[in-house]
């Protein structure tokens, strides 16, 4: 059992007969009344995000989860194949368990989040940032840099990302895997 003082981002709790991961939380102490904790919870099973308010000191069941290091190998017709980096055991994972699966490239390290009691795979967590090569983007127009305009760029995995005008084909960029946004150009 944990209480609201133990909340942290990424913590997995049992709530309403489902497993939820805490995306965001905020302790609030109003001028009148008791303190409370405002949270955003994401369902591990469905991916649906809900908001909930817990009164301060409320008890919640923390789900026992393990983070295991895996490496992405390849995608077959229906599933993604990963290999444990220490035991070399291979697992197949369906696409709905991987957020932004189009940012996976072969050989990439990921964390597989597993429910410790049932050994069920809850979801695959990509690293926060990945470095990708731009395979195609329209050339930027010289002198068109007065505004923060963005253009589409196709990266090596086939996904499209919005990038600034000065990015050209062949350059490497850093991409945030949580929202598929451009972070910076990578110098080699």
pLDDT tens, 22-38? 989 999 999 888 999 99
Residue 164's Cβ-count burial label (10 Å; 0-12, 13-18, 19+) is middle
> For position 38, which CATH number holds?
2.30.30.30
Question: What tens digit of pLDDT does each residue of 59-116 get?
Answer: 999 988 888 999 999 998 889 999 999 999 999 999 888 888 899 999 999 999 898 8
> For position 103, which CATH number holds?
2.40.50.140
Q: 98: part of which helix (H) or strand (E)?
A: none
pLDDT of residue 88: 92
Region of 180 on the Ramachandran plot (φ > 0 left; ψ -120 to 50 alpha; else beta): left
**Given 125, 144, 161, which residue is the final one in a domain?**
125
Alpha carbons 15 and 44: distance in angstroms, whole number: 11
Question: What tens digit of pLDDT does each residue of 39-61 get?
Answer: 999 888 777 899 999 998 899 99
- Are residues 70 and 110 in contact, defined by beta-carbon separation less than 8 angstroms? yes
The SS3 call for residue 112 is strand
Nearest to 3 by CA among 61, 63, 64: 61
pTM of the model: 0.76
pLDDT of residue 1: 84
| Domain count for the chain | 3
Tell me which residue range forms the domain holding 20: 2-62
- Are residues 128 and 173 in contact, defined by beta-carbon separation less than 8 angstroms? no
């Amino acid at each position: 059992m944990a209480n609201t003082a133990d909340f942290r981002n990424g913590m997995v709790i049992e709530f309403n007969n489902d497993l939820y991961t805490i995306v965001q939380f905020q302790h609030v102490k109003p001028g009148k009344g008791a303190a409370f904790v405002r949270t955003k919870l994401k369902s591990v099973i469905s991916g649906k995000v809900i908001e909930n308010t817990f009164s301060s000191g409320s008890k919640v069941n923390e789900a026992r989860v393990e983070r295991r290091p895996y490496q992405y190998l390849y995608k077959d017709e229906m599933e993604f194949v990963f290999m444990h980096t220490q035991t070399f055991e291979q697992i197949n994972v369906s696409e709905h368990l991987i957020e932004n699966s189009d940012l996976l490239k072969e050989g990439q390290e990921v964390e597989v989040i597993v429910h410790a009691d049932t050994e069920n795979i809850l979801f695959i967590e990509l690293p926060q940032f990945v470095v990708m090569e731009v395979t195609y983007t329209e050339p930027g127009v010289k002198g068109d840099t007065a505004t923060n305009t963005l253009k589409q760029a196709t990266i090596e995995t086939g996904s499209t990302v919005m990038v600034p005008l000065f990015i050209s084909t062949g350059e490497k960029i850093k991409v945030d895997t949580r929202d598929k946004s451009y972070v910076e150009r990578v110098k080699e």
